């Protein structure tokens, strides 16, 4: 670190997508890894002019002014949302039986029709196109309500709205496309999103569905097969990702993925199979086959070759539905547990009085509060500025929210004991209260897998967390570049870090916003200091590992987890501070108690992650996994049915 003594100003970095792709050294990757990376890098959004709050946390810049005071929903927006939510809640309570939907594997037609009539398929679609024109905050509130009652309906409405036709068209559609398709989907014509294929899960580079332009260039002919298309069985119109002819860029062939809006009654489309799952039993999810399906060029969204950008950008906001739904499901779990822990007596006391159960309830309560705080905070960021850079915040809300919701459902099952494991209909048949925890558990499990699995979310967040460093020092570490380029880059990077690095050792936290209760202010000071510890630890890991850091997924995951917990702490303190200002003395105390406990427990998790940066079994574990995968390890394979 000999460059620490001088402190020049930070270099101005104005990256483009091409720059971003070129800052990662791909020379040690195999062809498949390189293709996957280059394709997703080219599709990355790189909003250089927009600041990301969480991006700042990873760089030691904890700008609390960006998230304090907790944004209050404006009264007009809240009233509009309330009117719709009251209707939706009444309908869910009176007309939607989650157990029946689960048992029959079907959502009654009348339920879908009524959802359409009340506007649930066009919540965010502007009124001029026939939608309700509600905000992201109101949409999140609706997702929470749905998630608290029925996961099948949540998935139906969310796949339609968050990733199906509405969201990509709201973001990227031309006026003609909006006029043509939005009124249809707003009124209840179901839509879907088709990206996944047999060989395409998390890695779109291997896509085989193709769209070839016709000789006159006015149409494209789609051939291929899409897997697990939620709503595909019922949809009238879907968004399909297909490979279009490659482009030559700088003498190299570049794969092109294009997004098409496809009417399901177009000749050549067939739903060949309805898929069935562990949970979400009434999902209308299918395999969709395309044989010479001719689609007009004007149905392309955003432009030829921009399909992955459409998919990734759509999901950045679309991903907010799941944490909202998870917050709803988690609140429902708390409701179940509260009743049971208060009435079930074992060993002479209500089970809620036994410390082992109380410990679970405290964790469930605090984490539910944090989940909702993050979701509402990010939703308000979207409402404030449609162009806000919320990629990291939304990815963290999704990753953290879905993982915690799974633990919460698991704890709920444990607290309900044998009754948690028994089906609703069996409980009912023998006269016990029918509570469907086992259904909730089956339904909840998928959330950490779809819309970006937890592993892919960690990689995505890690990529963005490293981005500022890659821009400054990527060229230095890139063995593909000649020394003549790497040396000046090293000088520039050295100058940058000479200014940046010492700041990461400053002992004090950032200023605490006005009105934060004392018990929470200490957590915010800690979070601010810890953000700098995170930044310098990340820098040390980069210096130690160089380009190899990209392969250290478990290590990078710890940095991601620290950032996620810090964001959750700050969002929680911000919301609790706002609640403490407005409510009664009781409300104030409860909000502070929730946030205080959450922060205290998040700190312990953060400390564990920091400890794991230097003391871990990552490499040993990797070797063991490869041994298990390659060899026949006798004690592990003997004595079972094969």
Residues that bind ligand FAD (CB under 6 A): 159, 192-196, 201-202, 228-230, 277, 280, 283, 285, 446, 449-450, 453, 455-456, 459, 553
Q: Is 385 left (phi over 0), alpha (psi -120 to 50) or beta?
A: beta
Closest approach of ligand FAD to the CB of residue 529, in Å: 31
Both tokens of 246, joined, read 């490659």
Q: Which residues contact 33 (CB under 8 A, 6 or more apart)?
A: 26
Q: How far is CA 453 from CA 33, 322, 328, 402, 450, in A?
A: 18, 12, 20, 10, 6
Residue 61 or 150 with smaller CB distance to ligand FAD: 150
Both tokens of 141, joined, read 């509130």
Residue 395 or 459 with smaller CB distance to ligand FAD: 459
Please check whether residue 424 is in contact with residue 434, taking contact to mean a CB–CB distance below 8 angstroms. Answer: yes
Round the CA-based radius of gyration of the chain to a whole number and report it: 25
Return the closest-CA partner of residue 441 out of 397, 408, 479: 408
Closest approach of ligand FAD to the CB of residue 492, in Å: 31
Q: What's the CA gap between 351 and 343, in Å, rounded?
A: 8
Residue 192 or 336 with smaller CB distance to ligand FAD: 192
Closest approach of ligand FAD to the CB of residue 389, in Å: 23
Q: Which DSSP symbol is given to 283? A: -
Residue 221 or 453 with smaller CB distance to ligand FAD: 453
Q: What's the CA gap between 498 and 238, in Å, rounded?
A: 52
Closest approach of ligand FAD to the CB of residue 295, in Å: 18
Closest approach of ligand FAD to the CB of residue 277, in Å: 5
Q: Is 223 left (phi over 0), alpha (psi -120 to 50) or beta?
A: beta
Return the closest-CA partner of residue 596 out of 508, 489, 501, 520: 520
CA angle 338, 342, 345 (to 5 degrees): 135
Please check whether residue 232 is in contact with residue 160, taking contact to mean a CB–CB distance below 8 angstroms. Answer: no
Residue 287 or 516 with smaller CB distance to ligand FAD: 287
End-to-end CA distance of the chain: 57
Q: What's the CA gap between 154 and 600, in Å, rounded?
A: 33
Q: How far is CA 393 from CA 55, 56, 549, in A?
A: 9, 11, 23
Residue 171 or 456 with smaller CB distance to ligand FAD: 456
For residue 247, the SS3 value is: strand
Residue 553 or 593 with smaller CB distance to ligand FAD: 553
Q: What's the CA gap between 564 and 556, in Å, rounded?
A: 12
Please check whether residue 517 is in contact with residue 592, taking contact to mean a CB–CB distance below 8 angstroms. Answer: yes
Please check whether residue 324 is in contact with residue 144, taking contact to mean a CB–CB distance below 8 angstroms. Answer: yes
- State the Cα torsion 518-524-530-531 to the nearest 10°: -160
Closest approach of ligand FAD to the CB of residue 327, in Å: 20
Residue 320 or 446 with smaller CB distance to ligand FAD: 446
Closest approach of ligand FAD to the CB of residue 50, in Å: 27
Closest approach of ligand FAD to the CB of residue 119, in Å: 22
Which residue out of 41, 393, 422, 451 is catalytically annotated?
451
How do strand 237-249 and strand 252-263 relate by DSSP bridges? antiparallel
CA angle 598, 600, 604 (to 5 degrees): 110
Residue 201 or 499 with smaller CB distance to ligand FAD: 201
Q: Which residue is nearest to ligand FAD (CB)?
A: 201
Please check whether residue 138 is in contact with residue 131, taking contact to mean a CB–CB distance below 8 angstroms. Answer: no
Closest approach of ligand FAD to the CB of residue 200, in Å: 7
Please check whether residue 170 is in contact with residue 124, taking contact to mean a CB–CB distance below 8 angstroms. Answer: yes
Residue 142 or 229 with smaller CB distance to ligand FAD: 229
451 tagged catalytic: yes
Q: What's the CA gap between 263 and 170, in Å, rounded?
A: 18
Closest approach of ligand FAD to the CB of residue 14, in Å: 29
Residue 176 burial class via C-beta count within 10 angstroms: exposed 0-12, middle 13-18, buried 19 and up: exposed
Closest approach of ligand FAD to the CB of residue 402, in Å: 12
Residue 461 or 527 with smaller CB distance to ligand FAD: 461
Please check whether residue 356 is in contact with residue 386, taking contact to mean a CB–CB distance below 8 angstroms. Answer: no
Phi, psi at 304, each rounded to 5°? -65, 135
Catalytic residues: 451
């Amino acid at each position: 670190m000999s460059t620490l003594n001088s402190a020049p100003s930070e270099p101005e970095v104005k990256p483009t997508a091409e720059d971003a792709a070129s800052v990662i050294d791909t020379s040690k990757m195999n062809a498949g890894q390189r293709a996957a990376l280059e394709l997703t890098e080219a599709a990355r959004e790189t909003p250089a002019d927009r600041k990301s709050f969480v991006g700042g946390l990873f760089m030691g810049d904890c700008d609390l002014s960006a998230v304090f005071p907790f944004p209050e929903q404006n009264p007009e927006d809240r009233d509009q949302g309330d009117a719709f939510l009251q209707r939706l809640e009444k309908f869910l309570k009176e007309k939607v039986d989650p157990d029946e939907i689960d048992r029959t594997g079907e959502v009654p037609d009348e339920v879908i029709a009524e959802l359409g009539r009340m506007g649930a398929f066009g919540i965010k679609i502007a009124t001029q196109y026939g939608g309700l024109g509600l905000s992201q905050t109101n949409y999140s509130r609706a997702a929470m309500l749905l998630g608290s009652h029925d996961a099948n309906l949540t998935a139906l409405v969310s796949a339609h709205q968050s990733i199906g036709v509405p969201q990509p068209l709201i973001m990227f559609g031309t006026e003609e496309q909006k006029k043509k398709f939005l009124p249809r989907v707003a009124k209840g014509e179901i839509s879907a999103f088709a990206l996944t294929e047999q060989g395409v899960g998390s890695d779109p580079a291997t896509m085989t569905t193709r769209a070839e332009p016709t000789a006159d260039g006015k149409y494209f002919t789609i051939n291929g097969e899409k897997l697990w298309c939620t709503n595909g069985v019922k949809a009238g119109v879907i968004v399909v990702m297909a490979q279009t002819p490659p482009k030559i860029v700088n003498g190299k062939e570049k794969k092109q993925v294009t997004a098409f809006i496809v009417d399901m009654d177009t000749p050549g489309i067939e739903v060949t199979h309805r898929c069935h799952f562990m949970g979400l039993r009434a999902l209308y999810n299918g395999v969709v086959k395309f044989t010479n399906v001719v689609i007009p060029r004007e149905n392309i969204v955003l432009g030829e070759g921009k399909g992955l950008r459409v998919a990734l950008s759509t999901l950045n906001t679309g991903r907010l539905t799941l944490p909202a739904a998870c917050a709803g499901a988690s609140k429902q779990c708390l409701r179940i547990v509260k009743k049971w822990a208060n009435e079930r007596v074992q060993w002479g006391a209500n089970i809620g009085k036994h410390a082992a159960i109380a410990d679970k309830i405290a964790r469930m309560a605090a984490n539910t509060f944090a989940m909702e705080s993050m979701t509402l905070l990010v939703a308000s960021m979207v409402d404030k500025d449609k162009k806000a850079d919320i990629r990291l915040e939304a990815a963290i809300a999704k990753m953290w929210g879905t993982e915690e919701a799974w633990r919460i459902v698991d704890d709920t099952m444990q607290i309900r004991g044998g009754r948690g494991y028994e089906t609703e209909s069996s409980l009912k048949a023998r006269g016990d209260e029918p509570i469907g925890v086992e259904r909730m558990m089956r339904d909840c499990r998928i959330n950490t897998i779809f819309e970006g699995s937890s592993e892919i979310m960690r990689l995505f967040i890690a990529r963005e967390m490293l981005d500022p460093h890659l821009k400054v020092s990527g060229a230095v570490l890139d063995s593909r570049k000649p020394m003549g380029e790497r040396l000046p880059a090293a000088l520039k990077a050295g100058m940058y870090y000479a200014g940046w690095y010492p700041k990461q050792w400053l002992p004090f936290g950032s200023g605490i916003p006005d009105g934060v209760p004392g018990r929470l202010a200490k957590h915010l000071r800690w979070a601010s200091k810890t953000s700098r510890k995170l930044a310098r630890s990340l820098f040390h890991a980069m210096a130690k590992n160089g380009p190899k850091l990209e392969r250290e997924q478990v290590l990078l995951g710890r940095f991601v987890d620290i950032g996620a917990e810090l964001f959750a702490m700050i969002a929680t303190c911000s919301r609790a501070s706002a609640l403490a200002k407005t409510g009664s003395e009781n409300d104030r105390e409860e909000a502070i108690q929730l946030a205080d406990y959450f922060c205290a427990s998040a700190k312990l998790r953060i400390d564990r992650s920091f400890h794991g940066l230097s003391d871990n079994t990552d490499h040993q574990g990797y070797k063991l996994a490869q041994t298990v995968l390659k060899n026949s390890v006798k004690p592990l394979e003997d004595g079972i049915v094969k």
